[in-house]
Structure 1
Amino acid sequence: MNQTSSEAEATQPVVDSAPKQRHPLAGVLTAIAVALSVLTVAVLGLGVVVLVRTAPAAVGPSKSVTVTVTSNYAYGVVTYTRSSTTEVSRIEPLGTPKVWRPEVAFGDAVVVTIELISTSADDPTGAAGINCAITSADGSVNVSSSTTVTGGRAQCSWANNKAS
């Protein structure tokens, strides 16, 4: 069957030869998207650098110290804490010292809490029954010491605050 020229034109696809018009803001939006992508990558990269640079560094040496706690009461419970390590033990019998030999890093704190089980009528607060001491073999640990006693509980605290 022969097609006429008008039928042939109707079956041909229409081709638009005019140039396509872009939205006036298309270029601006593309530029903003690219800038945000670059900024995001830069910020993420900077974050990695900051994390690496802020990693904790060794500020000072560790020192071996001896912590000695003596209770003049028959029984006591001692809780020894250094950083995230906690050790609980008992002082018995009367006057027997409890000794720990931890490594105390610069800026590390040692806290010893003593809670008395047997109290005396002469000293109900327990203030006279607690002795805390900290020493180092070479004498180079600079420690600040504080002892607080409340109702039979004493807390002795030290910190290695010497950098060299």
Structure 2
Amino acid sequence: MTPPTALRQAEEIYRRMAFDTFAQDLKMGLNLGFCRTFAVPEIARVLTATGPDDPAHPGPRQGDRRVDVSVTPEADALWAATRDLLAGRVPGVLGPLAGSAADSLLDEELRRALGVGRPAMPVRAATHTALRLRAATGRVRRRIRGSHRPAGMSMVQ
């Protein structure tokens, strides 16, 4: 197999995974990663001033230095808006629980920086179980629909 063919096949596998099988998972992961920027006061101020959809928004430039993270009114407003957005996507009576479930996806350092309390054990357990079920159903669905390999590509090259 020539390198250009291997590269095209790798790109096809990535596209299938990113835009089909794992599209919602990747989107949620990117959104949670973006939420980490809310804890950086300078970024939170810019985001609340320009709106989180502004394509010119900055990202944290950590490099070798420690980035200052702290509770700010801007970070609080951004996280509250994110929780409301998530609650709007969860159907029916589970909607009000979405904010607490979202809180349980944050690590301890980020919860402290955003001023978010640790969710109750039943909420953390339910969120963990929901994620495990989502992963299991995704594996079953992939087995039913087939492989991510492009046609003609064997397992060992």
Task: Give the shorter-chain TM-score range.
Answer: under 0.3
**Would you tell me which structure has more helix in proportion to its own residues?**
2
What is the TM-score of this pair, normalised by structure 2?
0.26
